Amino acid sequence: MIYLLRHGETVWNTLGRFQGQKDSPLTARGIEQADFIAKVLCRELSEDLRSFEIQVSPLGRTRQTAGRVKRALSLVSIEDTRLMEVTAGSWDGMTKFEIDSEFPGALDDSDVFDWYFRSPDGERFDDACNRAKAWIADIQRPTVAISHGLFGRIIRGVYAGLSKGEMLELPVPQDGFYRLHEGDFSFIDGSSSVTGSARI
């Protein structure tokens, strides 16, 4: 059983910058999102809480989110570099407009979902999938994982056996989290319980 969280909203999220493996801090809204998710997660895990461990991407925004979550769950966390966001190399920290200006033609024929992988020195899609597969294979106990938007898509997609197109179009909310169980995943937002599944 894996509960997969995305970090709260960051300053660069609001500016349309792809953070990759660079960083920006959580906004006030991002802190509120992390606190809200922590409360929902605590209620969701309830009696099974002590059987879980927390694994966190070592980037600042995920560590900041983890700090808020740990206050509610009182669990020790470990950092795992495999949970880091996909890097677009020299494009990390840039907007699509800036990329198009500095690298003319590089985004031609790309779409809103696959442009990250057009970077000449960024992580390749297959490499990111292999990283996700390796992390999933090493899970030994119920786990709360705090990761990122794009890499969270890839984790869910690999876990559920989705195609590249299907996984890159998955939503990346910051006001809920995903439960991965028995080859499928569902979204939990705190208003009730499950609000979606891998196939919608």
User: Exposed, middle or buried: residue 76 (CB in 10 Å: 0-12, 13-18, 19+)?
Assistant: exposed
Give me 162's structure tokens: 């989705």
Query: CA–CA distance from 98 to each of 92, 95, 102, 190 (Å)?
Result: 11, 5, 6, 37
Cα separation, 194 vs 188, whole angstroms: 5
85 is catalytic: yes
Residues in contact with 15: Cβ distance below 8 Å, sequence separation at least 6, in sequence order = 95
Q: Which of 9, 32, 53, 85 is catalytic?
A: 85
Q: What is residue 39's DSSP assignment?
A: H
Active site residue 169: no
Which residues have a catalytic role annotated? 7, 85
